[in-house]
Structure 1
Amino acid sequence: MSETLDGACHCGQVRFTVKLLDGFMSIRRCTCSYCRMRGAVAVSARVDDLVVTAGAEALTLYRFNTGVAEHYFCSKCGIYTHHRRRSDPTQYGVNVACLAGVSPFDFPDVPVVDGVNHPNDGGRAGIIGHLRFIPD
């Protein structure tokens, strides 16, 4: 997928464009303590392929545990937009709900990766389950 997508936080203060690394094939959820609480579905992009076009000053950075992963969210509305991955700092995970015309509920099956037992800590990498959305 070489299409560039527009993205924004809920209030529209933070806006960005992104070219996804592998389209929506990289979609996933994570089980780490932070991802469990934020509940976002993310897709992958190269760091250089995400450009904040407005509101960079409104982005707030949050780090925890090892401090390697960088989680960005809008300081006005609180929405998580993207994060630099600990497992691969050359990539961002991008919140699909921030992409124009995309919803996490567009994906009937979202793989869940083991973020509790992180591969950088000697844990096993990979999919440990699936989050499914089955509309009525």
Structure 2
Amino acid sequence: MLNKDIKEIDAACHCGTVKFRVRLTDGLHTARRCNCSYCRMRGAVAVSANLADIHFTAGQDALVLYQFNTGQARHYFCSKCGIYTHHQRRSQPEQYGVNVACLEGISPFDFELVPVNEGALHPKDRPAGSAALIAGHLRYIPAE
């Protein structure tokens, strides 16, 4: 059973070059995907952490940065294995989205239902006061 109330957890990229410890804002309850052009291709499930709550223990110098469109969101990857580890959000620049697949012992397939945020029409591009939109949900169904 998935413990969604986890507060702090170790994380790493696939090859182990980038390692960090992260304190999550609300455990795994913030798990979500996004349907913007970039996230659709990346396909990761992310959880939330404040900027000050990621502490790198190894490999921070191995991270590479990718930015597109407005250049406000900052997407980080391991330069050795290419795994997306985290990104600084455009919608909430005081937070990181952290790839749940990098969290020790956690898989995106552990979540039965993951909300998909509307990112194709980004919150910062909508009229002031517009609420965040949920574009749908992704349901994982185990193979029989």
Name the structure where strand makes up a greater proportion of residues: 1
Segments of 4+ moved more than 3 angstroms: none
SS of the equivalent of 1:37 reads helix
The alpha-carbon deviation at position 3 of structure 1 amounts to 2.9
Matched, 1:80 2:84: yes
Q: Give, in whole Å, the separation in 1 of the partners of 2:56 and 2:42.
A: 21
Match of 2:68 among 52, 64, 69: 64
What's 2:38 paired with? 34
What's 1:47 paired with? 51
Once the two structures are superposed, the pairs formed by residues 1-136 of structure 1 within 5 Å of their partners are: 1=5, 3-122=7-126, 125-135=132-142, 136=144
Q: Give, in whole Å, the separation in 1 of the partners of 2:7 and 2:125.
A: 35
Q: Give, in whole Å, the separation in 2 of the partners of 1:76 and 1:30.
A: 25
The amino acid that maps onto 1:104 is P
The amino acid that maps onto 2:11 is G
Fraction of identical pairs, as percent: 65
Quote the RMSD (CA, aligned, Å).
1.2
Aligned residues: 136
Q: Give, in whole Å, the separation in 2 of the partners of 1:89 and 1:32.
A: 17
The TM-score normalised by the length of structure 1 is 0.96
Q: Give, in whole Å, the separation in 2 of the partners of 1:13 and 1:101.
A: 17
Q: Deviations over 1:9-63 (max 9, x none)?
A: 0000000000100001100000011111111000000010111110011000110
Q: Give, in whole Å, the separation in 1 of the partners of 2:26 and 2:68.
A: 28
The amino acid that maps onto 1:64 is F
Q: Give, in whole Å, the separation in 2 of the partners of 1:119 and 1:93.
A: 16
The alpha-carbon deviation at position 2 of structure 1 amounts to 6.6
The TM-score normalised by the length of structure 2 is 0.91
